[in-house]
Chains A and B, each alone.
Chain A
Amino acid sequence: MSENARLKFYCDEHRCISCDGCSVACAEAHELPAGINRRKVITMNEGILGLEYSLSIACMHCTDAPCEQVCPTDCFYIREDGIVLHDKEKCIGCAYCLYACPFGAPQFPSDGAFGIKGVMDKCTMCAGGPEETNSHKEREMYGQNRISEGKVPVCAAMCSTKALLVGDSAEISDIYRERVLSVGHGVKTQPYGWSTAYGSKI
């Protein structure tokens, strides 16, 4: 990671097979309540030949995060590494962050009867929250803090096609550039054919 690394997600729509592994892994790892999807896989143009593709979406940990700008409680804080987190003890569940968010990331659990909504929950990039790192309270309120343990966020870690990438934004764009440039050369995007598997002699 470089000095001024900002951690970012990137989902490669040429690779995503919409298996929903990321979203289930996330829900499972953080034991999210029903109705909360920190990560969601969406399919665009479903069934339309040549136009269909899928993407895995969660909080994108925006630079100049709009959610942070509008929150009336100022409960957001952006870590040095660019992860956008918030303090659930301050949050009042007004949903302004949701209105500002370009990705529909903030979510609100139904708090019991009459559809009243509780405080906001969103992807933490598996970095917990403002509570003491890896404390029980942090775990209960924000889910696992994998970043502090040096682990990759669980959604990206389990992505079997490596469509979902997470890391220093500069490195991620390098990987993507390499993928784009190497389509048809070197990196295998096609299944092995006879010549690759057996050699061209026979």
Chain B
Amino acid sequence: MKSKYIIIALLALSSLAFGASESVVWSDNLIDNILGYDKKGSLHLGQYFTILQSTYFKPLFLGVLFGVPAVFLLHYMVIGPMIFSHDRKKIYVFTLFHRVIHAIAGVSFILLIPTGLIMMFASTFGGGEFVRVCKEIHAISTLLFIVSIVPMFFMWLRWMFIHLDDIKWLMIVGGYLNKDKKPVPAGRFNAGQKTWYWLATLGGFIMIGTGAAMYFQDIRLDILASNHISQIDFLRASAIVHNALGLAVVALFFTHVYMAVFAIKGAIHSMIDGHKEEEEVEILHSSYYRELKEKGEV
């Protein structure tokens, strides 16, 4: 009984937001749409979107989809994984809260990325009901993404600011180009992880915003109107940004998974039981290890 009322209330709310108002795309704004294509003074976003979507995005995604794993396969075969001693002590690095949030984010990525790619390559899947379902899954898993990425942003924020170590780390590509167990300059998170963090959070927020804009189409933003940006140009920009960022997200997601599962043997356990091998910390997060040592925690 109660749930019925909740549903009715939600429906009423949603109709307030979307149904009652005239479409921002087609009502009087249709003129802006037309003028905004490639007429004088327009942003030419229509053209750019058409060119990008018709000729560049698909090959680029294909490149990332196969190129990144290929590079890693090469890395795995030529250099191979880092294997750290499992005999030394374990260091407790991730609390339960961290791990749960990370797990939710992980699930959302596992849902978002394939469904997103299926939409991008919809014709390969024949379009229709299957891809439509994927589109809805993509939308619904965004909710999971939101509930994980917001706490994640705050819980790790203080370790994520740029540090001198990061530059050094980047110069030696994190020490992944050889198998020497030389200490790598990095704090609790290395430059690679930081990049992934910023992409996943700030980039993630942008993905959420642009995705929602495209999904609902009619979200009315006064800030756009007051800056003379037509809804349709906003949507075009959203599509371009969403796809471009998507490329980066897919590439770094693959990297993240490769690192955790293959490149560093056993690294994935830290996100399951919260512990890292002491040697792993000593080598890969040497600055952090020094810190812990100074505090006498190891």
A residues sitting closer than 8 Å to B (CB atoms) are 35, 37, 40, 42, 44, 57, 66, 69-75, 87, 89-96, 98-104, 107-108, 110, 113-117, 119
A175 → chain B closest CB, angstroms:
23
Residue of B nearest to A68 (CB): B54
Least Cβ–Cβ distance between A125 and chain B, in angstroms: 19
Our pick among B15, B121, B232 for the contact of A104 (Cβ within 8 Å) is: B232
What's the Cα separation between A79 and B123 when bound, in Å? 20
Q: Which residues of B contact A40 (CB under 8 A)?
A: 26, 30
Residue from the list A66, A103, A116 in contact with B50, Cβ < 8 A: A66
Q: A37-B26, A42-B30, A57-B34 are in contact. Are A69 and B50 (CB under 8 A)?
A: yes
Per-residue A-contact encoding for B209-236, CB less than 8 Å = 1, 0 else: 0000011111000000000000010011
The smallest C-beta distance from A28 to any residue of chain B, in angstroms, reads 18
State in angstroms the CA–CA spacing of A90 and B120 once bound together.
Answer: 14
Among A70, A71, A99, A116, find the residue whose CB has the most chain B CB atoms closer than 10 A: A99
Q: Which A residues touch B131, using CB under 8 A?
A: 73, 92
Q: Count residues of B near A (Cβ-Cβ below 8 Å).
A: 43
B258 at the interface (CB under 8 A from A): no
Listed in ascending order, the chain B residues whose CB lies under 8 Å from chain A are 10-11, 14-15, 17-19, 23, 25-26, 28, 30-31, 33-34, 37-38, 45-46, 49-50, 53-54, 119-123, 126-128, 131-132, 135, 214-218, 232, 235-236, 239
Whether A99 contacts B232 in the complex (CB less than 8 A), given A70-B54, A72-B121, A93-B135, comes out as yes
Query: Are the C-beta atoms of B14 and A72 separated by less than 8 Å?
Result: no
Which of B37, B135, B235 meets A102, CB within 8 Å? B37
Q: With a CB–CB cut-off of 8 A, which chain B residues contact A110?
A: 18-19
Residues in B with CB closer than 8 Å to A44 are 31
Docked-complex contact A73 and B31, CB < 8 angstroms: no
Contact A92 B132 (CB under 8 A): yes
Question: Given contacts A44-B31, A70-B49, A92-B127, is CB(A108)–CB(B135) below 8 Å?
Answer: no
From A65, which residue of chain B is reached at the shortest CB distance? B50
Q: Is the CB of A73 within 8 A of B122?
A: yes
> Bound state CA distance, A6 and B244, in angstroms?
36
> Within the complex, which residue of A91, A99, A117, A119 is in contact with B46, where a contact is CB–CB below 8 Å?
A99
A93/B25 in contact, CB under 8 A: no
Query: CA–CA, A37 to B23, complex, Å?
Result: 11
Q: Are A115 and B14 in contact (CB under 8 A)?
A: yes
Contacting pair A69 B54 (CB below 8 A): yes
Please name all residues of chain B whose beta carbon is closer than 8 Å to the beta carbon of A70 when the two chains form the complex: 49-50, 53-54
Task: In the A-B complex, list the 7 residue pairs whose CB atoms are closest, starting with the nearest.
Answer: A73-B127, A115-B18, A90-B127, A69-B54, A104-B33, A102-B37, A74-B123
Given A69-B53, A73-B127, A94-B135: A100 and B30 interface contact (C-beta under 8 Å)? no
- How distant is the Cα of A35 from the Cα of B31 in the complex, in angstroms? 17
Give chain A nearest CB distance to B59 CB in angstroms: 14
Instruction: Give min CB distance, B258 to chain A, whole Å.
Output: 27
A70: shortest Cβ distance to chain B, in Å? 4
Q: A102 and B128 in contact (CB under 8 A), knowing A74-B123, A110-B18, A115-B218?
A: no
